[in-house]
Amino acid sequence: LEHRKLMLVLDLDHTLVNSASFDEVCAEEKPFLESMYARDPPKGRSKLLHKLDDLQLWTKIRPFALEFLAQASKLFDLYVYTMGTRIYAEAMLKLLDPTGVLFKGLVSRNDNDLTDHRDRKDLDTVLGQESSVLIVDDLPEAWPEEQHKNLIQIDRYHFFSSSCKSFGFDESSSLARRGIDESHSGGSLASLLQGLETIHRDFFQYGEFSFLEDVRDTVSELRSHILEGCKLAFSSVVPIDCEDSLWILCEGLGAECVLEIDDSVTHVVAMDPESARARWAVENGKHLVNPSWMRAAAFRLGRPRESEFQVR
């Protein structure tokens, strides 16, 4: 803390990168991959798609990941924590940090004999007080519940169809199958960086007395006001288990959630634009957003523009 730096523990797969073995790449996405691999990156950018023959892997770096790491390293001491093998993790770090100057440490599955729960991540394996550590991961369940206050959940990066399949999603919904990629400047990591900069600013606002602060309190305070003034109703097309988790998330962000719609509702959350509540929102001039709007608010630590999360 004397150098005005907090500790940032980053997940690897689905947060910074997405990988697929050569055998997992389907015929439908192979032409897009080969075309992307052959193209030179835009001027001033680095190559994001890599073919690792020694590991028999395709690896796609998430858009803005390299810029994110470079900027975040100025405010945080960076660590990677992955349930992947050390061989795989070290190969990924060479892609993300070729000069070896950004990351302070790596914890992999091979190191988990340091803990009692080898199938789970734990801050006990990372040096540093929990009061000054932040976690970024797409999977909160990988961490003990008592460490969720340290965690900022980021949406999962599914570039390869095999990645979608492993989570039970339609393979055709992967970015590679659709021939597109996440936005560079408007994607998840760019938004996350804004949130992390806000946390860092607020944590160190008391200067030399900041060592008395707890970053978990900083995050909690920021989150509790993000959707303040928003009154949300959910469309019936949202699965009940998803609705419950979204309900809890939204209330934690300061929103009010209601079962019935009336004129005081400001937002309707839906997946189907033709549902009755979605049509009601459009007809009555209310915001109509998909569930990603709330998740983005959680990791941006700010209210996203509703127009970016339209229901189609």
pLDDT in tens, 101-132: 999 999 987 775 545 555 789 998 776 789 99
Residue percentage of the chain with pLDDT more than 70:
92
Q: What is the dotted CATH code of the domain comprising 6-202?
A: 3.40.50.1000
Instruction: Give the pair of three-digit tokens for residue 157.
Output: 């990066």
Q: Are 113 and 183 in contact (CB under 8 A)?
A: no
- Answer whether 6-202 and 224-309 agree in fold: yes
Q: What are the structural domain ranges in the chain? A: 6-202, 224-309
pLDDT in tens, 66-91: 999 999 999 999 999 999 999 999 99
Give the per-residue pLDDT at 114: 47
Give the per-residue pLDDT at 303: 92
Q: Does the 224-309 domain belong in CATH 3.30.70.270?
A: no
Considering 83-97, 177-191, 233-247, the range whose residues carry the highest mean pLDDT is: 83-97
Mean pLDDT of the chain: 90
What's the whole-number mean pLDDT along residues 157-182? 93
State the pTM of this model. Answer: 0.87
